[in-house]
Amino acid sequence: RGLWGPIEDIIFYAVLVFSWTVYIWEAYLAYRQRKIYRATMHVPTELGKIMDSETFEKSRLYQLDKSNFGFWSGLYSEAEGTLILLLGGIPLLWKVSGILTARFGFGPEYEISQSLVFLMLATLFSALTGLPWSLYSTFVIEEKHGFNQQTVGFFLKDALKKFAVTQCILLPVTSLLLYIIKIGGDYFFIYAWLFTLVVSLILVTIYADYIAPLFDKFTPLPDGELKSEIESMAKSIYFPLTKIYVVEGSKRSSHSNAYFYGFFKNKRIVLFDTLLEDYSPLNKSGEKEPGTGEENEAAGNESKSKPKVRNKKQGCSNPEVLAVLGHELGHWKLGHTVKNIVISQMNSFLCFFLFAVLIGRKELFIAFGFHETQPTLIGLMIIFQFIFSPYNELLSFCLTVLSRRFEFQADAFARNMGRSSELYSALIKLNKDNLGFPVADWLFSMWHYSHPPLLERLRALTGPKQD
């Protein structure tokens, strides 16, 4: 590295110092939050009606374990990233990719072929180094706190499938993008941006029908009270609902959720089976014996034969599910979805424009060990990931703040639909089922929470109306 000029050195160390600054800042925030987990041993009086002391203690221990895990995995990935930069891992991997490309000699576009090999190796490396961490998180932490529903075999098969599907999308998309940048001329950044816009629209369209079913089982919600009530609620706000699905989230974990997706006049709602009290397999006791009814009483649901069944009934009643959906559809009705898409596309355009301004600067490449060549893929990586990182941090903070505003607005929307008391109890149940900890450090929650703290949401639901 001795021959490097000062500008290159400044760029390199600025990137490194910034990355560590963010790391230390987040470690400090996590430390503040951990202090709260340690110190808040009893349910605060204002939460007495919301959480029983047993659930409170469970949630405290769960969050504490997760936070400690986050500390070690965060430290590891920061150290790994730093070592890769200091030891010249990126130019090394680029060289190896070049050797492999020359040996197998595929494709007329040498640099693009080399880029694809590089991308494959880089994603393989990150998948392999990440694997022990996600194994530990799933089979030690989630398992210990009663969330994990997967076997190691299912997990590994899933990871393999995910890797294969990612490659099938990433490699053709990247090669087309590199080709567009190469032949696009002066205004290549406009074409590149349009291309990523089209790709993301296609992905959103095919994801639910062709990609998500590779991983999870989606079944249409059977006819019944819940279905007809959801349909009439959708109709009342002109939500163009075409289908309602239940996804077998219980195969993975007992965390619960609901969402909608789709374009224009073709919207679908997806409910996790774990969200639905009557539907969740986790509420069904023991093995399936003939004569055992589908229903279980809330009490006496303990099963000794199957330890993975939790001993408390989980999920929401139908009116509560409708209130949760009222909140979700509020996001649509209030234009939150469109606003988020517009923001992310404006951001993507800005990034491609700045990329076009910066890509010709050789010192950026030299700073990261590319002295002779300036491969486009490496340029994308350096500029989007390293050079933009202060901007990315700022943007992600602003989006978190915005997201919390949207959550309050969606809650108010459900309230205006007359579903505030059901939403109130649903929020409490969901927090309990997911073992959310209801006390947060203000700085930690301001930085990380995409949803407002439980108590603030409950207060807003019962307090004076905002508009």
Q: Is 294 a catalytic residue?
A: no
Q: Is 9 a catalytic residue?
A: no
Q: Per-residue string for binding with Zn ion, 128-147, x by CB under 5 A?
A: --------------------
The reply to whether 371 sits in an annotated binding site is no
Nearer to Zn ion, 407 or 422 (CB): 407
Q: Pick the catalytic residue: 8, 142, 273, 411?
A: 411
Asked if residue 407 belongs to a known ligand binding site, the reply is yes
Which residues inside 390-429 make contact with Zn ion, applying CB under 5 A?
407, 410
Catalytic one among 273, 328, 422, 433? 328
How many residues sit close enough to Zn ion to count as binding (CB under 5 A)? 2
Rank residues 330 and 438 by Cβ distance to Zn ion and give the closer one.
330
Residue closer to Zn ion by CB (options 138, 409) is 409
Of 312 and 333, nearer to Zn ion (C-beta) is 333
277 is in an annotated binding site: no
Give me the least distance between CB of 407 and Zn ion, in Å please. Answer: 5
Nearest distance in Å: CB 457, Zn ion: 10
Please give the residues from 320 up to 379 whose contact with Zn ion meets the rule CB under 5 A.
none
Shorter beta-carbon distance to Zn ion: residue 249 or 330: 330
Non-local CB neighbours of 53 within 8 Å, separated by 6+ positions: 42, 43
The minimum distance between CB 419 and Zn ion, in angstroms, equals 14
Nearest distance, CB of residue 319 and Zn ion, angstroms: 18
CB of 142 to Zn ion, least distance (A): 23
Q: Which residues of this protein are in contact with Zn ion, per CB under 5 A? A: 407, 410
Active-site residue list: 328, 411
Binding residues: 327, 331, 407
Binding residues for Zn(2+): 327, 331, 407
